[in-house]
Structure formats: C-alpha cells, structure tokens
Amino acid sequence: MTDEAYVTTLLTGLRAIKDFKPQLGKGKGVSLKEFQSLYAADPLYHWMGFDSELMYAAHRASGAMTSLYRNLGTGCEHLIQRILSDRLKLTAEQLKWEYVVGEEAFEGAPEPIVHPANIAEVAGAAEDIPEEPADGKAKGKKNSLDARIDLADLKSKEDADRIRKWLERLKADREVTWEPVGAVFEVRQGYKSMDAKRQAADIANAAQALARQRLPVLLIVSNQIDDNLIRRYGLSGWGILRGIIKPLPGHDDALQSTYAFLEQVVDYDLQAFFERNQKQIRQEVHSILETLLRPP
C-alpha cells in the first residue's frame, strides 16, 4: 500500500501532462483543430506545410518538456515530504519551514557564520524586501523551503539519535561552530539551471537558515547538477545530497548521497522503492511521452 501511495505521489503531476495543449501565444491551450485552422489561414505556414498534425505534435512535445521536468521536481518534493512524515512521524506543520524577510533576528540565534562565500553579507542582501499589501500595512515577504527536521520534534529516541549523529557530521563538514537545532531541505529532481536569480535566492535561503540555527541541505534525487554549482553552493553553506547510488563511490556517505541519507538516517530505502516500481513508472512515463509525441 505504501509503494502504491508513493508512486501516485511521484507521478500525479506527470500524468496530468497527457492533456497538455500548446498555447501558441493565445493564453490558452489550442486544440489540433484550432491549430490547423489558425495555421492554414496563414499563407506562409500553409505553403510550408506547418499546418500539419506532426507540427502540432512537435509544438505539444516542446511545450510539455519544461512541464515534465517541473512536475517531476514537484513529485520528488512531495515524495520526500511524505517519506519524512511517515518515517519520522512529523506533522505537516513540523515539516514546514518558512521565514519572513526583514523580520527581527531570531532571538538567541548565533550570528551567521562567516564562510568563504561570506554568508553574513548574503544574509544582509536577503533582508528588507517589502511587499505592498492591499491594507497598506507593512509586511515582509514570506519565503520557504521544502522540508524541516528539528530534533525537538522527533518522538522516537532511535530517530533522534540517527538525526543527531548526522547533524554532528554535517556541522563539522560545514565548519559550523554552534549547535544546530535541525536541518532544512530544498528538494529538487535535478539542478541543470544556471539561472543567477535562482542561485542568489538559494544562497540567501541558506544564510537565513543558518541564522535560525538550522543547517541548509540541497537534496537532489537525480545526479544532475553542475560541478560549478556544487562548489558555489558548498561555499555558501549548503550541504549537498545527490542521487548517487551503489556501487558508485559515495553511496555509503550520508553527507553526499540522497539515497544513503534516506536509508541510513531516515530509515527508508528509496533506491529499493524505485527498483521495485521502475517497471510501472517507466511504463507510465512511456505512455505520457508517446501521447505527447504522437499526432492526435
């Protein structure tokens, strides 16, 4: 039953893409009939043969590709949240981590550590980004990450011991000198983007987490991340978990491998889950791709 629920959690967003229709600048999904009517009415596109079913399929596949990756990311995020909730008995409220930019510093929190990437300056850059609410009252911008594990929320001594030992290792690896109360996680299916704004936001989020006594962790389910990003994020305070599996080097290191972290620290074997269910998952994804690429 758990596997079935987890597969559904992972694939729900992807399944919806079967109904994807290209917008073609119209602000709404365009059907094949509408597409052919629109393109046939354009002399050049008609002469070129662009008003064909294959051209529509190409537009649909091209437009859906971004959604495929984005929805896989959302599915991975929800899957990891569900695993953490189920295995560590954490409520949705306990898993949630958010902060308001520009609010007073967390009482009793240490100063952000000065890392090679100068986290103190990054934290300052993240402050004072106001919103303009309808009622005119001052308000900060709310930011959030995908999951949180605080030691104080763990009910099981065994769970708390595993998390505490892992936090001690992560603390030493990140050269942190104060005692963390937990960790916060940003979950991605992969990280191929070199978007400077996305990187700046992630680095600012790391600084805010550190200022609130929590170690930030980028949890990537695939192995798709550029080495330059690993170096930059590492220098900015992030712990980085990647989709490294056995027998590749690093599988047994819960500071490097997403699968090792989940198996050794959270007590859930995500690699075994994918191996058990890969036939169903691959069949469903094949069906989605086939639908997108086949002329209607």
Per-residue pLDDT, 196 = 81
What are the tens digits of pLDDT across the range 177-215?
899 999 999 999 998 777 788 888 888 889 889 988 999
Per-residue pLDDT, 159 = 97
Per-residue pLDDT, 49 = 96
The answer to whether the beta carbons of residues 135 and 147 sit under 8 Å apart is: no
Per-residue pLDDT, 242 = 94
- Reading the block at residue 89, the tokens are 């008995």
Chain centroid to Cα 152, Å, comes to 25
Per-residue pLDDT, 19 = 87
3-state secondary structure 241-256: EECCCCCCCCCCCCCC
DSSP bridge pairs for 147: 185
Per-residue pLDDT, 102 = 54
Determine if the pTM surpasses 0.85. no
Per-residue pLDDT, 201 = 84
Per-residue pLDDT, 173 = 92
pLDDT < 70 positions in the chain: 1, 101-141
